[in-house]
Amino acid sequence: MKKRMLYLCFSVLAANAWAGAGASAQERADVPEKYKWNTADLYPTEEAWKKAANDIAVRIPKLSKLQGKLGKSASGFYNALNNVLELDSDLSRLATYASMRSDEDTRVAATREMEQTATDLAVKYAAAVSFLRPEILSLGEKKVEQFIAKDKRLAPFRPWLDDILRYAPHTLTAQEEKIAAQADMLSDGPSNAYNIFTNADMPYPEAKLSDGKTVRLDASAYTQYRAVNNRADRDLVFKTFWAKYKEFERTLGTTLAAHVKTHMFNREVHKFGSCLEAALFNSNVPTAVYKQLIADVHSNLPTLHRYLKLRQRLMGVDQLRYEDLYAPIVKDVDLKYTPEQGMDLVLKAVAPLGPQYVADLKSGFDNRWVDFIPTTGKKSGAYSTGAYGVHPYQLQNFTGIYDEVSTLAHESGHSMHTFLSDKNQPYVTHDYKIFVAEVASTLNENMLFHLMLNNTSDKATRLYLLGTYLDGLRTTLFRQTLFAEFEWRIHEMAEQGQPLTGEKMTELYLGLLKEYYGDAKGVCKINDLYGIEWAYIPHFYYNFYVYQYATSIMASAQIAADIRAEAAAATPAAKARDAYLRMLSSGSSKYPIDLLKGAGVDMTTSTPFNAAMKEMNAIMDEMEKLLDSK
């Protein structure tokens, strides 16, 4: 049960439904239905949801009757597992609906209460089935294999059972696991407090821009206005926005520190060597992959600095500053799109993935998989989610700039991954690990970039697109690795008994910012105020999530290049495409590292990273030639 996670229109629609950039946040009731996701596909009404919740509440206690009976027979083993997973699926659907409805408007108490109900049921469910893993482990690998051989219905359960058996060194007794599951009731507290505060209660500041317009700088507006052309406006937006976050440094430091302690609890109770090891164990990814990524990035900071100097040249500024990193590189290029235009571009971009992929995604757009419009109280950012047996959904905050078309491509990659896995896998293996999830999303971004580049001859626009792609590498490969290093370091501080306060986090984050962006070398100057940026990143309330953006963009770039090369050949082939689609259709039937190897990428080496650096430098070569030709 997880969200898979991270914009301007100029036609006036009925009732000013899409007002474009700079419009005041509107209320959800004013948005046309076609721009809202259709939650009725999950439950037709809230009453139907409540009925399902009551049914689940009755079914959960009955699961305890299965305890001690798993090993009696192969058929009994199958029936028990099937009952558990049917309830798991129903609960996942329940939680997905509640979470989506709450995210529509975080001010609404009724939907927050629904989300809390789903969370409470999930905790009770986890406690009720806490015996399952220890009991399966007590059966042992030999008996489990005998059951699978006797009852063919158990064959689809094999990958899941193998994964459970892998947890033997980290699994407690049934009673201890039940207590640990009950303690998990507290784990969402820090992130829930953070989300409610930053999305609903935080008193976001206002800023008066050079054109006389006053804007309220919430998260969505900050993302929009940090990219304006006027440098004085950018300075004002940055300083105003981060000064407000700085006011709550202690509070937000407390919530993040409390979140880290939940990981400390899990590490200690389940006998892992570190929080990092505990987090990566779920996907069976070696911690060496995480550490190698950080080492590779530090070794290649000169490549990042080369890009930053190129950005400085393109912007024509004497000194590049942190406030300049989101502004358009070419000032006279202003790409803007309606939601319809964005969807059309994404569908054209993914054409190399085959007509069926395109048709399925178009059907999703037509049937309201996506919630497009930013509204007052709506959760910021974007994500893809879904429930087995229904279809995926996407939350967007689309205001029309090119970055948000890219975000639509990104989340559509997640949605199609969900769609194909659900279509081709039973529930037990339908879900996939984040390590491969971000390959699907970043590959779509890559496809969109190349579509735009191939259809653009204007030098300024080409420079903009090339620069945007490079900045994507900065934000996805380098910036996300900075986040990953920060997350690793705060966990190490906690594990070593060091104090973890908001002030300490700001000090650590500022040091990383200055190192990555070459502040001491004069590459990009960082205002000390911006050390508070860590408090703005919701991904720190996940569990070592962000490094997978970086590893995934390396893998997806390689796969996308292979697919494009096949599609462009005189006699088109589909070997790379089909291998990739098989990966998307595989769910968790194999471990992520093995799934990527099947798609042609070995993530246990630095080869994908080195290839990404080669591409990055090649793009900078092209941009410099374009600049010299001008």
Q: What are phi and psi of 443, to 5 degrees?
A: -65, -40
Q: Sign of torsion, CA 173 174 175 176?
A: positive
- Identify the CA nearest to 421 among candidates 408, 435, 432: 432
351 alpha carbon, distance to own chain's centre: 24
Secondary structure class of 382 (helix, strand, coil): coil
- Identify the CA nearest to 257 among candidates 5, 6, 3, 506: 506
Whole-angstrom Cα distance, residue 348 to residue 356? 13
Angle ∠(521,523,525) on CA atoms, nearest 5: 95
Whole-angstrom Cα distance, residue 268 to residue 536? 28
The β-bridge partners of 392 are 386
Annotation marks residue 176 as catalytic: no
Query: How many CA within 13 A on the CB side of residue 65?
Result: 7
Whole-angstrom Cα distance, residue 439 to residue 457? 29
Whole-angstrom Cα distance, residue 526 to residue 514? 6
Could you please report the per-residue DSSP string of 30-55? GS-GGGS--GGGT-SSHHHHHHHHHH
Q: Residues of 273-294 as b/e, b for ≥16 C-beta within 10 angstroms?
A: ebbbebbbbebebebebbebbb
7 alpha carbon, distance to own chain's centre: 18
Q: Sign of torsion, CA 508 511 512 513?
A: positive
Whole-angstrom Cα distance, residue 382 to residue 392? 13
Which of 104, 411, 438, 533 is catalytic? The answer is 411
- Identify the CA nearest to 421 among candidates 595, 212, 587, 258: 587
Q: How many CB atoms lie within 10 A of CB 214?
A: 8
Whole-angstrom Cα distance, residue 382 to residue 374? 10
Type of residue at 165: L
Cβ atoms of 415 and 386 within 8 Å: the answer is yes
Cβ atoms of 227 and 401 within 8 Å: the answer is yes
Give burial (CB, 10 Å; 0-12/13-18/19+) of 303: buried
Distant-in-sequence, close-in-space partners of 346: CB < 8 Å, separation ≥ 6 = 361, 405, 408, 409, 412, 444, 448
Secondary structure class of 483 (helix, strand, coil): helix
- Identify the CA nearest to 409 among candidates 344, 474, 482, 328: 344
The catalytic residue positions are 411
